[in-house]
Amino acid sequence: MTLASARWGVKTICLDLPSKGLRGLSHSPLRFSIQIPGATDAAIWKDKVRRAEDEGFYSVSVPDHLAPGLPQLAPMVALSAAAMVTSSLRLAITVVNNDFRHPVMLAKEIATLDLLSGGRVDLGIGSGWLPDDYTSSGIRSWDPPGQRVARLEEAVPLLRKLLSGAEVTFEGEHYQVNEYVSLPCPVQTPVPIMIGGAGKRMLGLAGRSADIVHMVANNPKFDNSMSGFEQRLAWIEESAVAREARDDLIVGLRITMGEVSDPTTSRQEAAERMASERGVPVERLLDSPYSLIGDRSAIKDRIVELNERYGVSYFTLSEDFAWEASEVVADLSSRQ
């Protein structure tokens, strides 16, 4: 089993499972991130991140949205505060909208956060997917997907160069940098980059360029069934193995629907109730790798299955579900 991120010096666990995943993808230690979008004051925020660390979560993650219907904390500021009251909890953004910040500014902010946290940042980045982030704020026009992805394709290698501490001159279609050295330098070399996406072009970029793939299911036009998930893994593999010595790519899932049920309630019954509440087909909930439903034993088995069969090792859970599933997180995180 390849331990892709042992060099990061963080708390990890390793399940002794056979490697059955696709070529080019790492069977690395399980990691659980709790996505906490907000808090009403500093004391509550500090309590939440301390609890996340105490309960064995690998990272706390904060999304990056401007839409008025999503009253969320600014990720850089929130994670800076989290860094001051934790010691081992990693700090993830899931994910930065590339269009909100020029790569030079983003590199400086990330390097500063990495420095002040002692090297605990996972830089998640994506091309933007929510129209309201653009149309309501006016920060940028809502361009077609191809244009947004093209900007990200330029931004990722530019960020790598800027975070290396080297002098950078870059001439692209979207970004130009002239003999610039980004300071401060981060503690980590390199800062792990997580690319979030669902489409073929985005996942291809992740396979070529990322340390972590953050597979999401935030668009109903995509097939979020198990077969759709397997197709996405094939796209990632195709791009990853084309890169020299690429066998260390960490695959993560954003769990969009989760519920811990009573042990007396079957997984089928729990899924039927959730399907009724959310207006989705029960078969979709039971089949999709982006949902975790059932009692703690069933959820743990599902996580182990996804890790064993597909090499998925970085699970990002919504806050409410993460607290419900904290016993599962602690149990799996205690295995060495």
> pLDDT digits over 234-262, tens only?
999 888 776 654 568 899 999 999 999 99
pLDDT at 278: 83
How far is 3 from 27, CA to CA, in rounded Å? 7
How far is 166 from 175, CA to CA, in rounded Å? 17
Low-confidence ranges of the chain (pLDDT < 70): 1-27, 218-220, 242-247, 335-336
Question: DSSP letter string over 131-181?
Answer: HHHHHTT-SS----HHHHHHHHHHHHHHHHHHHTT--EEEE-SS-EEEEE-
Bridge-partner residues for 71, per DSSP?
Answer: none
- Cis-peptide into 184, omega within 30 deg: yes
pLDDT at 20: 41
pLDDT at 158: 98
Domain-wise residue ranges, the chain: 6-333
pLDDT, tens only, 173-226: 999 999 999 999 999 999 999 999 999 999 999 999 999 999 998 666 778 899
3-state secondary structure of 243: coil
Q: Of 248, 289, 219, whose CA–CA distance to 25 is shortest? A: 248
Q: Of 213, 21, 239, whose CA–CA distance to 122 is shortest? A: 213
How far is 120 from 19, CA to CA, in rounded Å? 28
Residue 18's contacts (CB-CB under 8 Å, 6 or more residues apart) are 308
- Mean of all residue pLDDT scores within the chain: 88
CA distances from residue 92 to 37, 325, 326, 329 in whole angstroms, order as listed = 12, 20, 18, 17
How far is 28 from 298, CA to CA, in rounded Å? 22
How far is 177 from 154, CA to CA, in rounded Å? 12
Do the Cβ atoms of 104 and 170 come closer than 8 Å?
no
pLDDT at 146: 96
Q: Is CATH 3.20.20.30 the right assignment for the domain spanning 6-333? A: yes
Percent of all residues in the chain with a pLDDT value above 90, rounded to a whole number: 75
Do the Cβ atoms of 185 and 114 come closer than 8 Å?
no
Residue 313's contacts (CB-CB under 8 Å, 6 or more residues apart) are 26, 27, 28, 29, 30, 31, 250, 251, 252, 307
Read off the pTM.
0.88
